[in-house]
Amino acid sequence: MYHTAILIEIISVLGTAAFAISAVLAAEKKEIDLFAVMVLGMITAVGGGTIRDCLLDVPIFWAQDLSYIWIALASSIIGFIFFGLLKKKWINRFYLYIDTFAIAMFGIQGTNKAWELGFGIPAGPVLLGVITAVGGGIIRDVLLQRPTLLFSKNLYAIPVTIGCTLHAMMLMLIPEIGSISAIISIALIIYMRHLSINDKITLPEWALLGYRIQKFESYQNK
């Protein structure tokens, strides 16, 4: 149990850092200063969890443990200073996997927290799990006026949704194996993201609205 807690803490730190650094990478083509990068990094790192806790009407998690804020700010500064290094292919790939671990763990954590508080069971915990995982990134992209990963064919929110749904179903049907269910769900999210990172699976064209619009326009012009 002690080693598991340490592992979760390490992933939390790395995940928070990865979310913050993603703000630096996302702002690559924007002429913004260090202060703006720090704000974006902080919003990205804690935004999803903040929305979750507001909806749950519980104390905001980072207000009880400011280490999340300091980690986000420090990571943003480091990312700003060493931006050139972050653009190296192997560093960027490493970041993608840290981000994958983060969204998997934070998504399941969010689902657990909502379930324990009895929020909108069974759909509510799934929704809040997804918000916890991707909410900060969506806010970041809106502020930067750039397309979010939700609007791409790469699998990002879908693996989280599937993992959180599986965990919620297991909590409802076999609550006594909640810990095992969490591990399995996290592993599933990571595996699906791994396949997406390696371009082995993406959304099929027929599932994309743009493709369907093109087909419709093509049909209309005949």
More confident residue, 105 or 69: 69
pLDDT of residue 204: 59
Contact between 49 and 107 (Cβ < 8 Å):
no
Tell me the pLDDT band of 125, cut-offs 50, 70 and 90. very high
Residue 207 has pLDDT above 80, yes or no: no
Residue 198 has pLDDT above 60, yes or no: yes
Closest CA to 100 of 9, 164, 28, 196: 196
Distance CA 144, CA 83 (A): 18
What's the CA angle centered on 119, arms 117 and 72, to 5 degrees? Answer: 75
pLDDT of residue 35: 92
Contact between 160 and 189 (Cβ < 8 Å):
yes
Residue 157 has pLDDT above 90, yes or no: no
Backbone angles phi, psi at 148, to 5 degrees: -85, 165
* 170-178 average pLDDT score: 91
pLDDT of residue 145: 86
Q: What is the DSSP letter of 177?
A: G
More confident residue, 10 or 138: 138
pLDDT of residue 61: 92
CA gyration radius, the chain: 18
pLDDT of residue 66: 92
More confident residue, 98 or 70: 70
pLDDT of residue 93: 79
Contact between 214 and 110 (Cβ < 8 Å):
no
Amino acid letter for position 142: V
Amino acid letter for position 69: I
pLDDT of residue 200: 67
